[in-house]
Amino acid sequence: MDNKHQLEKLFQRSSDLLYHPYQKRNLISSSFNFIAALFSAIAILPLLLLISYVIIKGGSQLNLAILTELPEPPGDDLLGSGGIGNAIIGTFIVTTLAALIAVPIGIGGGIYLAEFSKGGNFSKFIRFGTNVLSGVPSIIAGVTVYGVVVSTKLFFGSSFSALAGGIALSILMLPTVIKTTDEGLKLVSDDLRRASLGIGASKFITITQITLPSAFTPIATGIVLAIARAAGETAPLIFTALFSFYWSSGTDALLSPIASLSVLIYNFALEPYKAQNELAWVASFVLVIFLLTLNILARWLTGMSEKRRT
């Protein structure tokens, strides 16, 4: 007992259990609480400002005509700027093209990594490469597609085209789709796989009818997020899909330059004319609402899978 008393004396502790707000430890704690709160406030402040500005400035000018008309070339008409109809369709077309390329390849690649590879050097390299590819700046994807597709007029002599834009965006989507497929499939329990293989099902049947469906939600979430990211991208499009003041129609629609919301915002933001600047805000409003919807959809998908698991 004496030993304990001697030892206790070596601890500088307060003599009671009361909370002393001016004790050094508590002062430090409350100042860190304050700093963390302040940092969080600073972090969300720009978001609130930005969203409210986009909604007020862009949403207030929204009407059916703007959503359905073609944009006017800058300087033609100093009062009107037309609409963003072709850019909305263009974003839809280019993003769909990108998804059509990246989703099958990504899911296929993810299936290979999760189901076939046995952790050899090839799959290690592909996993590493996926990480590297997701870190490649989007402008470089644009430069590459320009070099391979646009400048060489690879597709039937067309240079700038919706297809080139779609390819550029698909390079950005690919790593996300592969990664989420790979990880989604790895979450499927091996028991399920063995059960299917154990009754003599082929690997193809097992994967397409058992494992892939059970990993549906994580994969779908990944695809939705990849589409959301691609739909907002500008850099890969400015010298692949370029821009257009017209509707894309006819047989060579996919092989001609095409408008998109993001490139419209970029081009019109830098115009000296107020009418064009205003149109950029409307386009931002539409784009942001679209992307937020996709993100909420992804969140809902995740929420669903979590509910099902418990």
Partner 1 sequence: MPTDKRVNQACIKLENVSISYGGFEAVRNVYCDIPKGKVTAFIGPSGCGKSTLLRSINRMNDLIENCTLKGRVIYEGNDLYQPNIDPVEVRRRIGMVFQQPNPFPKSIYENIAYGARINGFTGNMCQLVENSLRKAAVWEECKDKLNESGYSLSGGQQQRLCIARTIAVQPDVILMDEPCSALDPISTLKIEEMIHELKKTFTIIIVTHNMQQALRVSDMTAFFNAEVQAGGSGKVGYLVEFNSTQKIFNSPTQKATQDYVAGRFG
Partner 2 sequence: MVESEKKELFTLRRRTSSEKFIDNGFKYAALSMAAMVAIALFTIFIVVLEGSFESMSQYGLQFLVKSDWDPVTDSYGAFTAIYGTVVTSILSLLIAVPLGVGTAIFITENIIPIWWRNIIGILVELLAAIPSVVLGLWAIFVMEPALRPLLKQLNISFSWIPFLSTEPVGPGMAPAILILVVMLLPIITAISRDSLNQVPSKLREAAYGIGASRWSTIFNVIIPAAISGIAGGVLLALGRAMGETMAVTMIIGNSNNFSLSLLAPGNTIAAMLANQFGEADGSQVSSLMFAAFILMILTLNVNIFAQWMVRRLSLKY
Closest separation in Å from C-beta 27 to partner 2: 11
Closest separation in Å from C-beta 16 to partner 1: 8
The reply on whether position 302 binds partner 2 by CB under 8 A is no
Residue 8 vs 190, nearer CB to partner 1: 8
Residue 116 vs 249, nearer CB to partner 2: 116
Q: 131 touches which of partner 1, partner 2, none (CB within 5 to 8 A by kind)?
A: partner 2
SS (H, E, C) 211-269: HHHHCHHHHHHHHHHHHHHHHHCCCCCCCCCCCCCCCCCCCCHHHCCCCCHHHHHHHHH
Q: 64 touches which of partner 2, partner 1, none (CB within 5 to 8 A by kind)?
A: none
**What are the residues facing 82 on neighbouring strands?**
71
Residue 177 vs 254, nearer CB to partner 2: 177
DSSP 22: T
Binding partner 2 (rule: CB under 8 A), the pick from 93, 164, 178, 254 is: 178
Closest separation in Å from C-beta 203 to partner 2: 5
The reply on whether position 93 binds partner 2 by CB under 8 A is no
**What are the residues facing 71 on neighbouring strands?**
82
Closest separation in Å from C-beta 26 to partner 1: 7
* Separation of CA 298 from chain center: 11
Closest separation in Å from C-beta 232 to partner 2: 3
Q: Which of residues 114-153 bind partner 2 (CB under 8 A)?
A: 115-117, 122-123, 125-126, 128-133, 135-144, 146-148
Beta-carbon count within 10 A of 114 CB: 21
Residue 6 vs 121, nearer CB to partner 1: 6
Q: Which of 115, 135, 119, 268 is nearest to 192 (CA)?
A: 115
Place of tokens 């919301």: 261
Window of 29-37, 188-196, 212-220, 250-258 that interacts with partner 2 by CB under 8 A? 29-37
Q: Which of residues 193-252 bind partner 2 (CB under 8 A)?
A: 202-204, 207, 228, 231-235, 238-239
13 burial type by CB count under 10 A (0-12 exposed, 13-18 middle, 19+ buried): exposed
Cα separation of 105 and 110, whole Å? 8
The reply on whether position 104 binds partner 2 by CB under 8 A is yes
> Residue 155 phi/psi, 5° resolution?
-95, 100
Closest separation in Å from C-beta 251 to partner 2: 26
Cα separation of 167 and 7, whole Å? 72
